[in-house]
Structure 1
Amino acid sequence: MNKSQLTEAISEQADITKKQAHDALNTITQEIANALAGGDEVALIGFGTFKITERGARTGRNPSTGETIHIAASKSPSFKAGKALKEALNPSV
């Protein structure tokens, strides 16, 4: 499912226009990004938690030349699925 398909699904389920669904989805994703950029976690109970993880500096290799290179430490967004989402994906028998 891509962003356009998600917008259409939201529009149908919430009985709102596609423009309203598009605006709502953009606002949600932008606010999650803003919170992460500010160092905060975003917890959606039952769905999951978005947070920033630190990736340490490391040594890598340039695949074209084989040269050893230094890869600087960086921050990366991560998502941990919540209990309800996990249960929805793995229903018990």
Structure 2
Amino acid sequence: MFVRIVKMSFNPSDVPDFLAMFEEKKALIKQNKGCQLLELYRDKTNPSIFFTYSYWDEEQDLENYRHSALFKAVWAQTKTWFNDKPEAWSVDKLVSLS
């Protein structure tokens, strides 16, 4: 399983707009081919920092999403709210315990 982790830091005044947009688009993002899981996390000490975790069957599935009209529209809006450069990691899931 391929996992994408993205850290985003927002202007505090834009957090409600980001959360509203994520709520509106999350099901559409999850419906992309190969997307097994989509999660949003909020930092405990800085409420303007968020992380998305998305689990994909294959790296190509993520790339296909990243080239979609949906991603381009969501990312174009999201980046206007940043107060710092986003960071992203692509990792392979090795172990998971439930």
TM-score range, shorter chain: under 0.3
TM-score normalised by L of structure 1: 0.24
Q: Higher relative CO (CA 8 A, sep ≥ 6), structure 1 or 2?
A: 2
TM-score normalised by L of structure 2: 0.24
